[in-house]
Amino acid sequence: MNVDELNELRQVACDTAVSAGKLAREMWSQPRQISHKGFRDLVTDADIATQQCITDAVQARYPDHGFLTEEEDSQLSATGPIIWIIDPIDGTTNYSRQLPEFCVSVAACRPHPGGYEPLAAAIYDPMREELFSAAKGQGATLQIGGADPTPMQVSPITNTAQAVMAVDWSASAATRLNIMGLVNKLAQDSFTLRAIGTAALAMAWVAAGRVDGYLNLRLRPWDVAAALLLLQESGGTIVQPNGEPIVWDTAGMACVASNGRLTLNL
């Protein structure tokens, strides 16, 4: 895929993420219709509306592309030369309680037998009007409001004792117990810990150098796809806690995002 094609995918990812984010912000203060997909797993009417905002726009531009979305939609094709991996509101619990930490995550990926190769990505924080985006081999940028995009780089921190780490919980009780053990270690080894409540935005902050690392033991592809490319293009990494490459799995993925300079003994 040439540079022009990659940049076109990036522009579509950016445009759709921003449009969906603006819709989510418009719906922010309105009464929410909230339902449960499972234990500790919410969905709101805004999740459904913002996802359709994205998929309608992508289908209009690329009718042969497929989708992997957080909210199930039987009308969407799951196959194609490019798969759009979408989390319409990452941080739904925050959103449902009017905690202003959430984002829209959109990634255009090339499927392969082992998973997905992100080619273009956008993560948009509508409350701060911050747009994080990247295209493969073209670097990652942050655009705030109407300002020009600026290049992103991960932090230079190499000493874990100076690192600001972030962590989030899982719906699974067993996974939470595992995370507690790792949090106990991180709390002793790192400078401080933060619980963000939105994986994609936390990892975008790692890519932007605001946070040095992020831990979550049960992420889904729609949490990871866009953030993975942002990190790759800004000098960071996402791996399993044992340091091995991540394994794509819709049932859950253990991930550690970092600036690639820290040695985390997990």
For residues 221 and 248, the answer to whether their CB atoms sit within 8 Å is yes
3-class SS of residue 106: strand
> What pLDDT was estimated at residue 2?
95
pLDDT one-digit tens code per residue, 39-50: 555 568 888 999
> What pLDDT was estimated at residue 35?
59
**pTM assigned to the model:** 0.94
d(CA 90, CA 95): 9
> What pLDDT was estimated at residue 37?
53
For residues 145 and 129, the answer to whether their CB atoms sit within 8 Å is yes
Residues 6+ apart with CB under 8 A from 210: 155, 164
Task: Give the H or E element holding residue 104.
Answer: strand 103-112
Fold exhibited by the domain 160-258: D-Maltodextrin-Binding Protein; domain 2 (3.40.190)
93's tokens? 């619990």
> What pLDDT was estimated at residue 263?
83
Fold exhibited by the domain 3-151: Fructose-1,6-Bisphosphatase; Chain A, domain 1 (3.30.540)
- State residue 35 phi and psi, 5-degree precision: -130, 170
d(CA 157, CA 163): 7
CA 114 to centroid of chain Cα atoms: 20
> What pLDDT was estimated at residue 41?
55
10-residue mean pLDDT series, the chain (266 residues): 96 98 89 58 80 97 96 90 97 91 98 95 98 98 96 97 91 81 87 94 98 95 98 97 93 94 84
> What pLDDT was estimated at residue 36?
58
> What pLDDT was estimated at residue 174?
81
> What pLDDT was estimated at residue 42?
54
**Would you list the domain boundaries of the chain?**
3-151, 160-258
pLDDT one-digit tens code per residue, 197-217: 999 999 999 999 999 999 999
> What pLDDT was estimated at residue 183?
87
> What pLDDT was estimated at residue 181?
85
Q: Read off the amino acid at residue 104.
A: V
